[in-house]
Structure formats: C-alpha cells, structure tokens
Amino acid sequence: MRILLAFIFALSCQWVIASPTALDNPSPQASFSSLVQQLPAASIKELSPLVDQLAATNDPKALTLLEALKDGQLYYTKDNKTVVRIIEENKATKEVTTETILEPLTTQTINTKTIKKIRVNNALRGQIGDYLSALKLFAEDETVRQAAIADFITQPDPEQVGLLQQAQANEQNEQLKAQLSIALASIDAHNSALPENQLAAVTLLAESQHMETFYWLERLQEKTTNPELKQAISTSMDSIQSRRDRYKMVENTFFGLSMGSVLLLAAIGLAITFGVMGVINMAHGEMIMIGAYATYVVQSLMPNHIGYSIWVAIPVAFLSAALVGILIERLVIKHLYGRPLETLLATFGISLILQQAARSLFGPLNQSVITPQWMSGSWEINPMLAFTYNRLYILFFALMVFFGLVLLLRKTSIGLHMRAVTQNRAMANSMGIRSGRVDALTFGLGSGIAGLAGVAISQLNNVGPNLGQSYIIDSFMVVVFGGAGNIFGTLYAAFGLGMINKYIEPFAGAVLAKILILVFIILFMQWRPRGMFAVKGRFVED
Amino acid sequence: MSFIEQAKRLLGMSLVCSAAVVMSGCEKPAEAPAAPAPETAPTEETVEAPTFDGEIKVGVLHSLSGTMAISETTLKDTVLMLVEDQNEKGGLLGKKLVPVVVDPASNWPLFAEKTKELIEKEGVDVIFGCWTSVSRKSVLPVIENLNGLLFYPVQYEGEESSKNVFYTGAAPNQQAIPAVDYLMDAEGVERWVLEGTDYVYPRTTNKILEAYLKGKGVAEEDISINYTPFGHSDWQTRVAEIKEFGSAGKKTAVVSTINGDANVPFYKELANQGIAATDIPVVAFSVGEEELSGFDTAPLVGHLAAWNYFQSAEADVNDEFIAKWKGFIGDESRVTNDPMEATYIGFKAWAKAVEKAGTTDVDAVRSAMYGIEVPNLTGGIAKVLPNHHFTKPVLIGEIQADGQFEIVSQTEEVPGDAWTDFLPESAKIVSDWQDPAINCGNYNTETKACSGQNY
C-alpha cells in the first residue's frame, strides 16, 4: 500500500515535469493485459499482489478496472475466461450488458449464467479504496476530491505528505485547499520536528470538522511534554467538541422528527378508525402489512424500474388496504358497532387471520424490498452532520399524507359527511346521509392510509407477516396520548413522543427509553385521561 | 411470477386453514401425523418399495405459526426430508420412521406442553426441535422428567448440559470466540462494539466476549456494549454512536448478536449513514443465508458472519444436500443454512446411534451416542462429545451481493464447550455424561461435586 502511494506520488510528479513513463516500463500495455488475464484464476490471497501490480502499470484502464473490481462489477466469461465489466443489468431477463476490459473492446448482452464474478473481500476492497482515494485527490469532480481529502484527514499517514502538498498546489477551490491544510496539519501536529510548526498545526486543527481529529489530538496530548502545546491542544479539542455538541443537537432533533414521522404515519390511519369512528381496530397493524406487501409485489412486477416502483406502489397500497378495510367493515365491524369488547376480539381474530394469510401466500420468510437509489445514502452537510435520505423523504411523505387528510376532512363533501356521521349519527341520517356507506368509506380511508404507512415502512423495516405487530402498540399509544378524535392531537403526539424518545436514548439506551416513554404516558393519562387534546362539546358521550 | 403461482396453489388451502389456524396452526395434510396404514401409503408405482417391520416415531417440535415460524418452518421441513431420505434407504432397524409434527406456535409454555404430548401421547422415540433458548429452557424440565431425547440445532449461549438434550448447534467457543480472533488477526481490530438484542443469548455471549477481550488486553474504554429491544427498528441514534465510537483512530468492529427482525433496519441505517464494511465491519452470529434472502443485500456486502456451515462450502456431500433440499422443497431459490446442517448432523448421529444400540430406548441410544462420528456438510467430521456437544469447524464468511457468503476463514473442528473457560465461575465446571466418576452436566472440579441442578 505504501509502495503504491509512493508510486502514485512519483507518478503525479512526473505529470508535472511531463516525462514519459514508457521509458521506465518497456511494455506497460503487455504487462497490464497479462495481469488482467491472471485475474480469473486468482484466489483472494493472490488477488492482493495482483492489484498492487495492476495499479503500478499506470495503465489508463487500471482505474476503471479497479473500481469495477471493488464494486463487484468485474466478471469473467465461463467459456474463454475473458475479463468483462458489467455496464447494465436487466434483472427481469437475467441478462447483462458487458464490456471487455482488454482490446478489442466489445460490448455484448449475455445471460448472467454464462459469467462468473471475480470475488473480493473487505481487505481487498480497503486496499483498492486506499489506492483510489490517492488518485481521487486529482479527480475532476469536486465532491470526489472532497471525499478523498476526508479520507486523509481521518487516517493521517506521514508518508503521504508529498502527495498532499502536490494536491494542495494543484487545488483551485479555496474550501478544499483549507481542507488539505487540515490534512497536512494533522500530520505536522504529530510529526513536525519544530515545536512552533506543531503549535501552528494544532491551532489550525481546531477548524477540523472530523471527530477523528479530536482523538488524534487526544493521543498527541498523552504523548507531548510541552506545556504550551498541551494548552493549545486543549483549546483545539474544546472547539471541536463544542462544534460536535452543536451538531449533535441538530442531529438528535432530526432523529426525533424522523421517528415521529414514522409514528405519525402508523397512527393517522388509526386516528380515523379509532379516533373518529371509535372502533378499536386491532387489525390496523395488518393494514400496514398489506401496504408493505403491496410495495413488494409492485417491485417484483417491475424489477427494472425500482426507482419508479415506489410511486406506483403508493396508490396500489392505498387501494388494496382500503379494499380490505371496507370488506372488514362490511362483513364484521358493521354488526358490532357499540360493542367495543366484541369489536376488539373480532378485529384481533382478523389480524391473526391476515397474518397467517400472508404467511401462506408469501411464505413465512421476510421479503426483500429494495431501496431505490434516490432514497439511499445521506445528504451530507458537513462531516459531522448528515441526514439520511430515506428518513428525510419519509418525514415529508408523512406530513403530506397528514395535511392531505386534513384537507379531505375539512374541505370535501365526503369529509363533511364523515364528520357529521361520527358526531351525530341519527341527525346525519335524517339529513339524508347514508351513514352505512359513510362508515364503510371512513374505515376504508383509515385502512388505506395505514397502507400508505406500509409503503414508507417497507423502506425502513422488514416486510414480513409480523410487520404489523410491531406498530400496533405504538399507534394506539400515539392516538390515545394525542386525544382520540383529534387529528392534530395525533400529529403533536407523534412528534412529541419521537423527540422525547430520541433525547432520552443517548443517555438511557433504547430499552430504558422505551420503558420511560410508557411510564410517562401512563402518568400523563392519570392527569388527562382523554389525552392531550381531548374532544369537547355536546356530542362527546359520557 | 412465483408468488402468483404460490398464491393460486395456496389460496384454497389458506382459506380452509385460516379459520382453524387462529387456534391451532395450519398443518398441511401431507404432514399430518395420523398413523398411515400400510395399505394406503404405497401408491407409488416404483418397484422395491421397502417393506417395514414396525415404526419409529420421530417428534418434530418447531413453531409453524407465530413470530418464530420464519426460522423454524425450514427446520421442520429439513427433518421431514431427512426422515423421507432414511425411509428410502430402508428405515432404521428395519422399521419405518414416522414423523410426528406438532406446532408450539412460538409460545414458550406451549413447547413444554407439546413435548409432554409428544412423549406421553404419541410415544415418540426422539424429538428434533426448539429454536430460541427460552423455548429450550421451557422444554428442559419436561424432557428430563419423562426421560426423552431432544436434539437442539441452533447456536446458543452455552452454560448448560442436560442429560436428555444433544446440542448440535454451536457453543460460544465454536462461533463467537473464533470470530473475534479472526477480526483481531485478519482485520487488526482494536476497538469493539458488542451490540445485541436484550435477551439471554446476547447477554451471556457478550459477557463471555467481554471477559475474553479483556483477557487479550483490550482496555475497558475500547469496548462498548449496548442492548436494544426485540424488533428494534429505529437505529439512528445507536448507529450515530457507533460511528463516533469508531472515529477514535483505531480499527473498530461490531460484534452483533442482534436478533433476526432487527437486522434489516440496522444494516440499512449503517449503509445510509455511510458506514461501509471496510470502515467498520459487522460480524453477525444470527444472520445466515435464509435471513439474507429477505434482505436487500446491497448495503450488506463485505459484512461478516460466523457459522459452522455456509451453503457456499465446497464439499460433494454439501452439493448433494443442497440439490436434495431444493428438490424436496420444490423451489430452486431456497437456500440452506447452519441450523439445517446442525439438524442434519444431529439426525445422522442419532440414526447411527440407534443402529449401534440396536434399539430406540433413550438410555441405550444416549450411551451409544458418545464418540459417534458422522460427516458434516463442510467436508469434515462431527464427533459427539460426552458433554452432549459436537465438534464443529468455525467458518467466517463475507456477505456477497447474491446473498451467499464468501468463506474467508475456516478452522479445524473445534470441540464444543458446555461451560465457557472465560468466565471464572464457569471455568471450573465441566460436563461429562460418559465418565461414571462424574456423570453429570455440571461437575465442579474444585469441590469435586455436581451442583445437583438438573441441567
């Protein structure tokens, strides 16, 4: 690895003085191709020196090759052991488009069965990664360069000083230049022979946005005997620490909001069926499960368009869960209005039936739902603060569903009917509203929204027969805490509980946080038995 | 699409069953234990249908409904396959093996009741079953009282050796300790996160690992231990903590005893927060091929798992087993996993012991078990030890994008240790059911006495 970096350094110097490399290496092309031809037969242990040699060939194609190897895109054909790289994959037809690495460059579409992967392990991926990050210091794309510099800040290595100085001299972007100074300062702080250089480096490190620098300084502090330097280190460490604490607050708030958004999604459906209609629906969790399975089915029907499948899944999940909800209402719950205990038992039975139905239909194993590319990874604001995309999208989705529902209830005639029936059934009937139909629609709406929650949850959790079980308790908790019958109560309760949970968790751990939340709710309900925002007015019974 | 075909096939059945299933669990007619009269069974036209002289009943005690059905259904099918296979070879002692399948429905007390039913009512000669430690603990008093025989096929926390149970899965020294050794040697890990679900197996395993790491000179502040509830799905805070713990400039790894369902959200969060296997590798003890088939494996590539068997193990006997399994279950995409192999070696060892003893009497079979050697599926030999554990090789595998494991390390066969050597209170306890001078599962080498505890 170090030899490698030294080589790259030498290489980048050569760029500057523009000397042809071909002189040192009589036939780089030949050796590159012979190395490539060795790949199919090599075991993982033999691959490691091969990678070093490949990198050292300085062949322009080495970068593509190594990147493909690292990402598991490098294969060889079973018949004549030609090394190929995958360009495009068609999951439905099980075909891939491949391109040969060596001349002549040919592209062809073949069945996946005819090729075999060149397997790599973690150590090898790390080895290639190190090599690539050295090369990436000189990449065209700024974000690529930034990531490469971050690698050098988090793992300072004195042997790379020359390379970094080279990069700094080439760098045009001021911000990245500053980052490179920090990378160099990390090395200087430990290695510089001159105390004043060390002092300057340590002072500069206060600007670092990496927690690694903090520990790097801590180790220096244990080592050094210079009191002035010790003082400077403490100051720099404090400044990093306080920056970290600030971002930690923001991060915790985001975690809380995100957890709240999942609680909200799971609970709004219930806020309608339980909160508005007063039906204790123990099968609510299974409506979420139906939505999640709908996402899985849609995805397996369009394996080549995973990115769009989510958009198709949203209406499909809503409709299928709503349909099941309406069926349950018409067949079972209709006959049980006003008998909460029987409703509870009947819906509990339905939930078990639906679970076992899922188990019989899809098997007892979890199904894998692929997270689309645009929902993976995180939005990195700086190295200390990043928001994961899937959580971010789900937060927006939850708010959209919520406000969509509020609009529906307040601004449409069906919403008006729903409110009328739940407030005074007899009066609504005499005004010509078909309350039976409205009941079915309301229950269908609540179930459909649970189905939407299933789409979101399929991106976070397992899709399996037990999915609903893990959300039913939380959903009731949120609705009861917020005050049954008040949709906005559910909103505040969901985000409130999410935030409390996420602020407790760093100190108490996840197990205790959960217990404390439940204790808190029990105590709260003693004080306000009808929840935070109790419905008031003459239509409130008892 | 396979699920549509499945849907058609199963719709009728599910409708009929779903009503009954609430109470009893759905038993497919084919597996119904109703004693098959000899004249109804051989409808197949094949020649040489073996003639049998009597029956040996084999109890299958795995949950077919409820939360554990996800893992245990596969093991039920494995036992049925092994029984079918044995019958094709002429049964045992000239008798036909008859499986008796019951469904304890992931309900721990029900495990004890069903065990009693199997032994007293059905009169089974052996039971293959249980998955969670709590279900095994629930079965223990019953099986010891009625002197039954249980083969337990899952890796567990150790600290137990019952006269009536054979532990065919890994003890901690056959999984956890070698995995930690691998990370230390091959990846140079110096800082450890022990992450587990909050129940007995992770807590005991982590206690052993903590003592082991400290014995290796790892400092207190380089170990972070944390537990989360069952089915934990919001990993944001914990993953952020792991990320920060790993930024101290020392190579960090996570040793995960996270239980099944909480794994998907955990790995997703790791990937989304940008932690790759090359930064902080996770070695898991509960993630196998079957679990991976329900994962989106993209975020997992490069993370590790430690088992005694991987489907990718290269051995002829393994290829044969995989082909037979796929044929039996009728689905090319089904995978094999470690508890299946443990069931396999347990079944083979029992069959061999019955032949050696010439009877299915529990005490005779038990005595015949010690020292029996059967080939395992990774090309080695599993030997039954007097402490009711087996010798097993330890394999470390890296997760690949296709949901299989690339085996990066494989040890010689390691003898299973019932009582760990790394906890002071357990180090002095040995189990030996063969040596007449000891003949118990918890002999204290200092006081020279058995603790008197039954298991």
Query: CA B373, CA B363: separation in Å to the nearest integer?
Result: 19
Nearest CA in chain B to A45: B408
Place of tokens 């999940």: A317
Q: Is B451 on the interface with A (CB under 8 A)?
A: no
For the stretch A456-497, pLDDT in tens is 999 988 898 888 888 998 899 999 898 877 889 999 999 999
**Preceding omega of B393 cis (within 30 degrees of 0):** no
Nearest CA in chain A to B188: A123
**Nearest 5°: CA angle at B443, between B441 and B447?**
160
Q: Is B289 on the interface with A (CB under 8 A)?
A: no
Nearest CA in chain B to A218: B248
State whether B249 and A301 contact (CB < 8 Å): no
CA–centroid distance for B404 within its chain: 18
Q: Is B16 on the interface with A (CB under 8 A)?
A: no
Nearest CA in chain A to B65: A356
- With beta carbons under 8 A apart, name residues in chain B contacting A1: none
State whether A215 and B247 contact (CB < 8 Å): yes
- With beta carbons under 8 A apart, name residues in chain B contacting A361: 3, 6-7, 10-11, 14
Query: CA A399, CA A379: separation in Å to the nearest integer?
Result: 20
Spatial CA neighbour of A352 closest among A471, A465, A448: A465
- With beta carbons under 8 A apart, name residues in chain B contacting A376: 271-272, 298-299
Nearest CA in chain B to A349: B22
For the stretch A16-45, pLDDT in tens is 433 344 344 444 444 788 888 888 888 777
Residues B272-286, mean pLDDT to the nearest whole number: 89
Confidence of residue A306 (pLDDT cuts 50, 70, 90): confident
For the stretch A162-171, pLDDT in tens is 788 888 888 8
Q: Collect all residues with Cβ–Cβ distance below 8 Å to A53 and sequence separation of at least 6.
A: A31, A35
Spatial CA neighbour of A447 closest among A261, A306, A315, A320: A320
Residue B117 has pLDDT above 70, yes or no: yes
Q: Is A502 on the interface with B (CB under 8 A)?
A: yes
Residue B455 has pLDDT above 80, yes or no: no
Query: CA A350, CA A348: separation in Å to the nearest integer?
Result: 5
Residue B38 has pLDDT above 80, yes or no: no
State whether A356 and B17 contact (CB < 8 Å): yes
Closest residue to A360, CB basis, from B13, B187, B295: B13
Closest residue to A388, CB basis, from B14, B272, B290: B272
State whether B272 and A352 contact (CB < 8 Å): no
Q: Is B298 on the interface with A (CB under 8 A)?
A: yes
Residue A71 is encoded by which pair of tokens?
A: 């990402």
Confidence of residue B48 (pLDDT cuts 50, 70, 90): low
Confidence of residue B49 (pLDDT cuts 50, 70, 90): low
pTM: 0.80
For the stretch B297-345, pLDDT in tens is 877 888 999 999 999 998 899 999 999 999 999 888 889 999 999 999 9
Closest residue to B265, CB basis, from A359, A370, A461: A461
279-318 in chain A: CB under 8 A from chain B: 297, 300-301
161-220 in chain A: CB under 8 A from chain B: 210-212, 214-216, 219
State whether B236 and A258 contact (CB < 8 Å): yes
Nearest CA in chain A to B105: A356
For the stretch B399-421, pLDDT in tens is 888 888 988 888 899 999 999 88
Residues B149-177, mean pLDDT to the nearest whole number: 92
Element housing B228 (H / E): strand B223-228
State whether B274 and A378 contact (CB < 8 Å): yes
Task: Write the secondary structure of B405-417 as one string of H (helix), E (strand) and C (coil).
Answer: EEEEEEEEEEECC
217-246 in chain B: CB under 8 A from chain A: 226-229, 231-234, 236-238, 240-241, 244
Question: Which stretches of B122-257 are assigned E, i.e. beta strand?
Answer: 126-129, 150-152, 165-167, 191-197, 223-228, 252-257
90-149 in chain A: CB under 8 A from chain B: 117, 119, 121-123, 125-126, 129
Shortest distance between the Cα of B30 and any Cα of chain A, in A, equals: 16
Question: Would you state the pLDDT for residue B1?
Answer: 42
Return the number of CB contacts < 8 Å for A and B. 185
Which is more confidently placed, A122 or A289?
A: A289
What's at A255, amino acid-wise? F
The percent of residues above 70 in pLDDT, for chain B, comes to: 88
ipTM field: 0.78
Q: Which of A265, A353, A360 to mutate to test the interface with B (most CBs of B within 10 A)?
A: A360
CB count in 10 Å sphere of residue B19: 12
CB count in 10 Å sphere of residue A431: 12
Shortest distance between the Cα of A439 and any Cα of chain B, in A, equals: 26
Confidence of residue A159 (pLDDT cuts 50, 70, 90): confident
Q: What three-state secondary structure class fits B54? A: coil
Residue A346 has pLDDT above 80, yes or no: yes
State whether A502 and B229 contact (CB < 8 Å): no
What's at A112, amino acid-wise? T
Nearest CA in chain B to A259: B234
- With beta carbons under 8 A apart, name residues in chain A contacting B268: 371, 390, 460
Query: CA B360, CA B351: separation in Å to the nearest integer?
Result: 9
Residue A210 has pLDDT above 90, yes or no: no
Q: Is A89 on the interface with B (CB under 8 A)?
A: no
37-76 in chain A: CB under 8 A from chain B: 44, 72
Q: Collect all residues with Cβ–Cβ distance below 8 Å to B198 and sequence separation of at least 6.
A: A511, B227, B228, B229, B230
State whether B3 and A359 contact (CB < 8 Å): no
Output the average pLDDT for chain B.
Answer: 85
Q: Helices marked H in B252-361 — which ranges?
A: 263-272, 289-292, 316-329, 338-357
- With beta carbons under 8 A apart, name residues in chain A contacting B197: none
Shortest distance between the Cα of B394 and any Cα of chain A, in A, equals: 18
**Cβ(A270)–Cβ(A452) under 8 Å?**
no
State whether A377 and B274 contact (CB < 8 Å): yes
Residue A249 has pLDDT above 80, yes or no: yes
Q: What three-state secondary structure class fits A39? A: helix
Q: Strand B126-129 vs strand A107-111: parallel, antiparallel, or unpaired?
A: unpaired
Q: Collect all residues with Cβ–Cβ distance below 8 Å to B425 and sequence separation of at least 6.
A: none
Question: Would you state the pLDDT for residue A327?
Answer: 95
State whether A461 and B233 contact (CB < 8 Å): yes
Residue B25 has pLDDT above 80, yes or no: no
